[in-house]
Chains A and B, each alone.
Chain A
């Protein structure tokens, strides 16, 4: 850490501690835990979801849907269990995290239940509820087992290896809709790429935390940009390149874009050098241009983004993006009301990539803004924890875990609303897809653990401890 950074960190800690004392003073009295607030918010989240469920049923059949109480009890039970896990396992965790996760998940279940009404032959909500349960179970497991996030540093390479293995696995399985991103076994289908996102983020954070100075200060200077030494940057770039290569092979461009974004951001945060942003943007632009011209699938997406109504003019009828825009426009300011829109016109992928269109149509701009703000809250929790922590790994991991959903939301929401070319990606917590829900619960669990550390009275590790930790990350010096 340079001097400025140290001062910054001290200042942040002082802010976090809520008093003006400088670092090194005796520890401040612990902050309030706010578990009661969390419980109250959880009750609210479950109630809102329950009301949504009722609204769908009342709008469609003028009767309370059959499974309403079961649904409310299920969601409430999950929320309560998660709350207990946090209360006893991470008492200082940010009280906003869990309610946000529960509300997003509950809304996702409501939307899928609502879309199931249009497709009687294909019900996705029950499976989604099962996956949500699995997700919450994993949340509890992570909070209970992982007592200190810094343990993860030791398994950085393990995480990287596991992530690569998970990403390579789908190549052995048949492609679905042109993308080889699924593993199918015993009636289940998994998207390992989803889990790989978290693992790779952990690896990036650990590696960059261990090699910050080396990355920032060594190596040759080219013009005004100081390049880090090759042996320092080598491993991480190699892993990153391999993962992106695999994803390109699998036609999973959305995830590769995400990896790239997280990598560049973490590199920037770790080194504090704006140059990385410039390099990243240039590389991204070059890569996007290359892929956009070479890959017909992507080229089509870009064309569709530029001319969403070309299909209508050509007499093929409106394409998916046009249908999605129609849905958003139909919602207007306040939406048509749950169950009263016609987003089923979008057809294929209405429950996954385009689920946001249903929300936009039926809850309108008001509901959409609220949803975006929920995601913003989630990310803000991560950033606040990153500012409050003293170990670089924790900070980087928190930033990575905050950027991950934020980028995902931007890419998919921007895609279905015509802001950027459409990239297939799951809306966190909302979209149909077990792997995605489970992964997002793991992210929330990690954030809970990190915020617990950031807000709690835990004795901070000495600043050098991360470096001295018995890990394999010390690069050759």
Chain B
């Protein structure tokens, strides 16, 4: 009897031990796997249990939080949703995050380890630091100027500070209000469907994610390649390219929109935007030289982040001479994001040095204590300083007495290049109007900003003038807004 009782007691003890060991297994050793399971809603609940940190533009937060009282409690609000959507993206309980909301999510949601002051203690008491702030480089005046300049037309504007790479304006139009996607529920689902099915694609970030044929604005790259390679030494020596120019190996003839290209030197050809001259120069530089020049500016770079990813701009590396000729004038497979073309303008303005653009000035914790500066990449020389100087001269002339007159600003040196890009089957689509420009101080020669503007539905005749007509004034307004 005694023995049986003892055995039974021991058996009970064994059961208890099994329970305790199992509890340790579930709560300690396997806990992380269970917590990380996507079906476990606790991570989401904890994430939305506190207000999200602010995205700051020009010292003022452009985002906020709304207490919904639901299970996923705090929903994101935006003060100027459509204006800043191309930077902030959305933060939705239902559809996740995009752009800055996505790349800086750890800071904004308070999950980033860098926000934790006492890791061990905070882990013990399950304390979560409040969401930190993300301070952007954007200049609100320039952003507004760009947004109002596009006035709802399809297109994009990017402005950068050439020396530092700070992104000063980032606009995609038409835009949308990311606040409509905050939270979850029928209204969010409806908004998501409506925005995704809208014909003019308001959720497409045209500044970073859309590549356009750059057309004549690409001639800046071609000119840089020709000067760097020594193919052209004197800006005014006639190049004697036949007009029309027959593409090598084909019978296709390439013409010019204007007269006076046949005996033009590089300076004149640049001002007149002669297709024949630049196509011929591209062939002269050769496929390899052209591709290398383009890649130095950032073409074919799949890793560009600002920190939101930027779609790679493309310049083909394996082509027939005829295709190379077309590529050199920004047609054929050459395609560029507005961000890429802003970088080209910035490199010219900054004496051939390109600083990769960045959008996050610094991140701080909720109390404003700096956590980190935004990710920066080193400045690199993308062309000879002498080449850059020659290009500055030529671009300034385009604004002084060329197609870019609409961009001139009194008291400042402005350089630019217009472009009209054909696209569509047999080039039947409405051409895109391009304008890239930069502005420098007259005394110090400090490059103040570089801009790229693209307007998709430029209602204009198919001429380079349209680039100046539709996009030039926008570029001017954006640059001028930055000078005040």
Partner of A365, one of B8, B16, B23, B35: B23
Q: How far is the CA of A444 from the CA of B23 in the complex (A)?
A: 27
Check A309 for interface membership: any CB of B closer than 8 A. Answer: yes
The reply to whether A329 and B8 contact each other, CB–CB distance below 8 Å, is no
How many A-B pairs with Cβ below 8 Å? 144
Within 8 A of A (CB), among B1-31: 1-9, 11-13, 15-16, 18-20, 22-24, 26-28, 30-31
The reply to whether A417 and B26 contact each other, CB–CB distance below 8 Å, is yes
Interface-side segment among B39-47, B402-410, B438-446: B39-47
Check B126 for interface membership: any CB of A closer than 8 A. Answer: yes
Partner of B23, one of A317, A369, A395, A399: A369
Check B124 for interface membership: any CB of A closer than 8 A. Answer: yes
Partner of A330, one of B6, B24, B42: B42
Q: Inside 8 A of A387's CB, which chain B residues have their CB?
A: 2, 5-6
The reply to whether B39 and A309 contact each other, CB–CB distance below 8 Å, is yes
Q: Inside 8 A of A402's CB, which chain B residues have their CB?
A: 8-9, 12
Chain A: interface residue count, which band?
35 or more
The reply to whether B23 and A342 contact each other, CB–CB distance below 8 Å, is no
| Minimal Cβ-Cβ distance residue in B for A409 | B19
Q: How far is the CA of A434 from the CA of B51 in the complex (A)?
A: 42
Q: How far is the CA of A209 from the CA of B40 in the complex (A)?
A: 52
Secondary structure at the A interface, as helix, strand, loop or mixed, is helix
A62, chain B: closest CB distance, angstroms: 15
Q: Inside 8 A of A148's CB, which chain B residues have their CB?
A: none
The reply to whether A268 and B39 contact each other, CB–CB distance below 8 Å, is no
Q: Inside 8 A of B3's CB, which chain A residues have their CB?
A: 8, 272
Interface-side segment among A26-34, A49-57, A86-94, A378-386: A378-386
The reply to whether A332 and B28 contact each other, CB–CB distance below 8 Å, is yes
| Minimal Cβ-Cβ distance residue in A for B21 | A419
Check B427 for interface membership: any CB of A closer than 8 A. Answer: no
Mask, A194-207, CB within 8 Å of B = 1, is: 00000000000000
Q: Inside 8 A of A395's CB, which chain B residues have their CB?
A: 1, 5
Check B250 for interface membership: any CB of A closer than 8 A. Answer: no
The reply to whether A414 and B22 contact each other, CB–CB distance below 8 Å, is yes
The reply to whether A406 and B15 contact each other, CB–CB distance below 8 Å, is yes
Q: Contacts A8-B1, A340-B126: A329 and B39 contacting too (C-beta < 8 A)?
A: no
| Minimal Cβ-Cβ distance residue in B for A7 | B2
Q: How far is the CA of A8 from the CA of B2 in the complex (A)?
A: 6
The reply to whether B27 and A312 contact each other, CB–CB distance below 8 Å, is no
Residue of B19, B20, B24 most packed against chain A (CB within 10 A): B19
Partner of B41, one of A11, A342, A379, A380: A342
The reply to whether B19 and A332 contact each other, CB–CB distance below 8 Å, is no
A273, chain B: closest CB distance, angstroms: 9
Q: How far is the CA of A265 from the CA of B8 in the complex (A)?
A: 7
Q: How far is the CA of A192 from the CA of B62 in the complex (A)?
A: 63
Q: How far is the CA of A322 from the CA of B39 in the complex (A)?
A: 9
The reply to whether A326 and B2 contact each other, CB–CB distance below 8 Å, is no
Q: Contacts A372-B16, A406-B12, A406-B15: A326 and B37 contacting too (C-beta < 8 A)?
A: yes
Q: How far is the CA of A332 from the CA of B30 in the complex (A)?
A: 10
B21, chain A: closest CB distance, angstroms: 9
Mask, A408-449, CB within 8 Å of B = 1, is: 011001100111000000000000000000000000000000
Q: Inside 8 A of A272's CB, which chain B residues have their CB?
A: 1, 3-4
What are 27 A-B residue pairs whose CB atoms fall within 8 Å in the complex? A270-B4, A309-B37, A312-B38, A317-B39, A322-B37, A326-B35, A326-B40, A328-B23, A328-B34, A330-B31, A330-B35, A330-B40, A334-B124, A342-B41, A364-B27, A365-B23, A365-B24, A372-B16, A376-B13, A392-B1, A399-B5, A399-B8, A402-B12, A407-B15, A410-B15, A417-B19, A419-B22
The 10 closest A-B pairs by CB, nearest first: A329-B34, A8-B2, A269-B4, A329-B31, A383-B9, A312-B39, A410-B15, A419-B22, A318-B39, A406-B12
